[in-house]
Structure 1
């Protein structure tokens, strides 16, 4: 464990991410599985901490999330089956949740579409069918807590052009528009320890997205982009392209 973390550090990694448990798309483990013992999890996080690197943990099951929280990670990615008690422990420890919820509804909405699945994705489909009810309940749970939520999408498992759909998905699962928008701006910047990002303040990095409409009243406005500014420079899209 120590060697793997040190190798990543020497290669220039800014973060250490490890899979604390299984997932839906794996044919060799399931979402309830746990990858490391508590001692092993502590070793990963302690080694990263000694090297000044924060840890992000892929974890779905409550046990995997709890082990990562006990070890002192900075963020939990996904956490779908974490209990309210575990979320409370995260809140008390100041650990962020990156819930990546749209990717789950993307697959759940296609469960009965036989044309979408093939032999390569049959195991994934079986996992989603087995966990569908628990997963839908789990997607509703974090909004009822005081957890600090940062925006993330797991893009690549669905088309990148649909990243914006994470916003309305979070709102539909109980997060307020304000909390949701902050998750992608100031809260995300805090998670990354980048105070120059995520706010409209003097001397902040001028990374901006202009949308059509008021996302506080209609969160789907996040899918109607007028323009993007990166580091103070207006990004001109390729003709016919959409953001």
Structure 2
């Protein structure tokens, strides 16, 4: 390369992805999943211009002024949304010591790879429910500096003292006294006033959604995995303050009483829901509360609980007991008519394996078409957005394609052949 050409070449390489013009494309799909109805449509051509779906044409046709992407034998679907991920981490046998040995920048570098794996698996949007790295990763992706899904970030989860998201759980006396008890700034509350301050701090930090840990959790360094950890008044204070900023509230919850308080307090969604009772299901239907089962995480922790040394001994019995229950709960909730949306709790398991949740949902008795709706149009409802989750003119050009018919064979979702986000192809046959 000649010396004068080198600066120009470098300049092209350094242009953020978001600044590069997306070329007009015509995706010739063998069939198209219409997410509003849950039906498969015969051959369609999806025309994409300027990051949006321009039109959807019947048949596989040539469109002047566009580049054709031949998807013969493939089904096109709206880009999937995983409503429960943690892109800043990934479970491993050293996870508990890494929090003391690694710096935030180490986790940030890891998150870049996790984000790209998630996108290439077909997930064009995610809701990151807990992690201080996520808002910064979101911004880097939006600026086109790294590849990844669109992120709706909670930032630091809100907990009570000793609760599932208390960052000081497991500290010895020396560290506890050195650091001092965490408060609302760190996402730990013990009153209605604290609750309001914690939400306002999340606003200050740039969060998009609020996450609370309404009960104990499986992987926290604490004995109980299901005890309630907020009062109804505290939950209401969080929800009301969140509403001031246009936020929705997701509630991690395994135990029945904690779920009941979260639903009565007005949260948008219950995550995990392991010991969901008939009463809680009735309340969720009455209040319109969504359920995000995270079956993958339940299966993963139950399996790893059998491995000596993978989890600390205080965690291991919780993982074995709670993890094995979630799929049965999801089956019962579906039969009861509770609204279900898609989420994996990925970060508990390996990022990029998110689509396996579809398989587990179908195993739980949820029809494949409804599982696909849970990750598309239903997920958009949970997020409160109306420009994604469907393939329609004027909507975001977030599209995935898989070989064959995923409604007839849900395993096809594990073979993603094309990923488009905002009209840009990140993967294609």
TM beyond 0.5: yes
Q: Tell me, yes or no, if structure 1 residue 126 matches structure 2 residue 317.
A: yes
Q: For 2:293 and 2:215, locate their aligned partners in 1 and report how far apart those are by CA, in whole Å.
A: 15
1:136 offset after TM fit, Å?
5.2
Correspondent of 1:107 among 301, 304, 318: 301
Give unmatched runs, 5+ long, in structure 1: 238-243
Correspondent of 2:286 among 92, 95, 98: 92
Q: For 2:411 and 2:201, locate their aligned partners in 1 and report how far apart those are by CA, in whole Å.
A: 42
Counterpart for residue 238 of structure 2:
44
Q: Map of 1:100-179 to 2, 5 A cutoff?
A: 100-112=294-306, 114=307, 117-118=308-309, 120-131=311-322, 134-135=325-326, 137-179=328-370
Q: Secondary structure at the match of 2:313?
A: helix
- Stretch of structure 1 that moved more, 89-98 or 127-136: 127-136
Contact 2:340 2:374 in 1 (8 A): yes
Correspondent of 1:32 among 226, 245, 254: 226
1:10 offset after TM fit, Å?
2.2
Q: For 1:68 and 1:96, locate their aligned partners in 2 and report how far apart those are by CA, in whole Å.
A: 12
Q: Secondary structure at the match of 1:48?
A: helix
Q: For 1:119 and 1:211, locate their aligned partners in 2 and report how far apart those are by CA, in whole Å.
A: 35
The structure where strand makes up a greater share of residues is 2
Contact 1:23 1:29 in 2 (8 A): no
Correspondent of 1:210 among 398, 401, 417: 401
1:138 offset after TM fit, Å?
2.4
Contact 2:219 2:319 in 1 (8 A): no
Q: For 1:155 and 1:95, locate their aligned partners in 2 and report how far apart those are by CA, in whole Å.
A: 22
TM-score, normalised via structure 1 length: 0.89
1:129 offset after TM fit, Å?
3.2
1:25 offset after TM fit, Å?
1.0
Q: For 1:96 and 1:55, locate their aligned partners in 2 and report how far apart those are by CA, in whole Å.
A: 11
Q: Map of 1:5-20 to 2, 5 A cutoff?
A: 5-20=199-214
Q: For 2:358 and 2:235, locate their aligned partners in 1 and report how far apart those are by CA, in whole Å.
A: 32
Give unmatched runs, 5+ long, in structure 2: 1-194
- CA offsets, 1:200-238, max 9 Å, x none? 11101010110112111111111001110111121148x
Q: Tell me, yes or no, if structure 1 residue 22 matches structure 2 residue 22.
A: no
Counterpart for residue 105 of structure 2:
none
- CA offsets, 1:96-151, max 9 Å, x none? 11111111112223443x3xx41643332221334466545324322212111111
Q: Secondary structure at the match of 1:56?
A: strand
Q: Which is higher, the Rg of structure 1 or of structure 2?
A: 2
Counterpart for residue 188 of structure 1:
379
Q: For 1:44 and 1:211, locate their aligned partners in 2 and report how far apart those are by CA, in whole Å.
A: 41
Q: Map of 1:74-85 to 2, 5 A cutoff?
A: 74-85=268-279
Q: For 1:184 and 1:110, locate their aligned partners in 2 and report how far apart those are by CA, in whole Å.
A: 26
The higher relative CO (CA closer than 8 Å, separation ≥ 6) is in 2
* CA separation of 1:131 and 1:16: change in aligned 2, threshold 3 A: closer
Contact 2:361 2:371 in 1 (8 A): yes
TM-score, normalised via structure 2 length: 0.52
Contact 1:25 1:123 in 2 (8 A): no
- Stretch of structure 1 that moved more, 49-58 or 208-217: 49-58
Contact 1:212 1:225 in 2 (8 A): yes
* CA separation of 1:136 and 1:95: change in aligned 2, threshold 3 A: closer
The structure where helix makes up a greater share of residues is 1
Q: Secondary structure at the match of 2:354?
A: helix
1:42 offset after TM fit, Å?
1.5
Correspondent of 1:225 among 416, 422, 427: 416
Q: Secondary structure at the match of 2:400?
A: strand
